[in-house]
């Protein structure tokens, strides 16, 4: 009789542990969904600031792709530095091209999105952060102080900006 009680107790603890794990997974899933929705609302807000009729453009893309493909695009585009610009550029493609895009496998879609972003930002500094650029606060480019010139901040500059800063930095050292 004691064995039977201990078996039932162990089984009850096992079931409780499974329920706790499932609840934790559900909580993590809800947090991921909330973060995704926040990212999309941030992208929409930035898009409205830069492009007139941005919401209409996004709606045209969603209509052409369908709900499942539009959701997949929404998930993929949030990883890029300028998702609002990519979506605006995609809205110019036309329905036929958007449908072709929707039929591509996910890996090819990401390649296409990368091409669009590269075309839009061909002379921009490359930011080496884990987060997409629209989520990073305080990243600036431009003139650097003497202390920051040798630091990692110089990695944010284009080749032309770096050359200008190098010349400016060394001119300043000759005067000292």
Handedness of CA 133, 138, 140, 144 (dihedral sign): negative
What is the torsion angle, in degrees rounded to the nearest 10, for the CA atoms of residue 126, residue 129, residue 132 and residue 135?
-120
Instruction: Report pLDDT digits (tens) over 91-127.
Output: 898 889 999 998 999 899 999 998 998 888 766 665 6
Which residue ranges make up each domain of the chain?
16-123
Q: Which of 18-22, 29-33, 53-57, 156-160 has the lowest mean pLDDT?
A: 156-160
Report CA 130 to chain centroid distance, whole Å: 9
Q: Give, as one character, the DSSP assignment of residue 153.
A: G
DSSP string, 89-116: HHHTS-HHHHHHHHHS-HHHHHHHHHHH
Residues 162 and 129: their CA atoms lie apart, in Å, by 19
Largest separation between any pair of C-alpha atoms in the chain: 93
pLDDT at site 48: 86
Residues 77 and 63: their CA atoms lie apart, in Å, by 17
Instruction: Report pLDDT digits (tens) over 125-174.
Output: 656 666 666 666 555 444 445 555 455 555 666 778 778 777 877 775 65
3-state DSSP call for residue 52?
coil
Cα within 13 Å of Cα(39), Cβ side: 24
The whole model's pTM is what? 0.59
Element (H, E) at 44: helix 2-50
């Amino acid at each position: 009789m004691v064995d039977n009680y201990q078996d039932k107790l162990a089984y009850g603890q096992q079931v409780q542990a499974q329920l706790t794990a499932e609840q934790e997974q559900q909580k993590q899933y809800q947090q991921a969904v909330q973060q995704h929705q926040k990212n999309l609302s941030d992208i929409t807000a930035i898009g409205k600031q830069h492009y007139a009729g941005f919401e209409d453009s996004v709606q045209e893309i969603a209509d052409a792709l369908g709900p499942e493909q539009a959701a997949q695009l929404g998930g993929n585009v949030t990883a890029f530095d300028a998702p609002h610009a990519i979506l605006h550029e995609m809205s110019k493609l036309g329905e036929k091209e958007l449908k072709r895009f929707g039929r591509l496998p996910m890996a090819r879609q990401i390649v296409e999105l990368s091409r669009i972003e590269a075309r839009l930002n061909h002379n921009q500094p490359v930011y080496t952060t884990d987060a997409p650029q629209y989520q990073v606060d305080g990243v600036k480019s431009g003139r650097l102080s003497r202390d920051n010139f040798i630091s990692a901040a110089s990695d944010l500059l284009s080749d032309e900006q770096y050359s200008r800063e190098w010349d400016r930095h060394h001119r300043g050292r000759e005067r000292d």
